[in-house]
Amino acid sequence: MFALVVLTAVVLVRMFRARVRAVKTGAVSASYFRVYQEGVEPPESAKISRHFANLFEAPVLFYVACLAALALNRVSVPLLILAWVYVLARLIHAFVHMGSNRLRKRIAAYFASWVVLVSMWVVLVVTIVIAE
């Protein structure tokens, strides 16, 4: 979980820097960021902003699965491996999304992260059911 939090923090810093750069270069006025309605955010800044928001969507289910496994004392080697693979898939997704933004690669990384996330939940549920 900490690794994903670090990734989120890195993206936050990149987003802040991209927004400051956009204002300094005159690509957008600072007032745009008050209500996000007066103008259009530059593509580079918008891409990073979208990725930052994305890190608060599906990853929430990752955090819940991890916390549930901890709270229910169901942490296992398969679950740990899946958790690290999920973080790796999200790192790849971030690298592609904020870099080249090649759609096929981005979709592949995003889809892989979902397959791993669903697998984590299956492993967690199975370990809970077996324990009952």
Residue ranges per structural domain of the chain: 2-131
Q: Is the pTM of this model over 0.85?
A: yes
Question: Residue with structure tokens 């900490």?
Answer: 2
SS3 41: coil
CATH of domain 2-131: 1.20.120.550
Return d(Cα 59, Cα 11) in angstroms, integer. Answer: 14
Length of the chain in residues, anyone? Answer: 132
| pLDDT tens readout for residues 18-29 | 999 999 999 998
Mean pLDDT of 57-69: 97
Mean pLDDT of 40-45: 91
| pLDDT tens readout for residues 96-106 | 999 999 999 99
Containing H/E element for 28? none
Q: Which of 16-25, 31-40, 43-52 has the lowest mean pLDDT?
A: 31-40
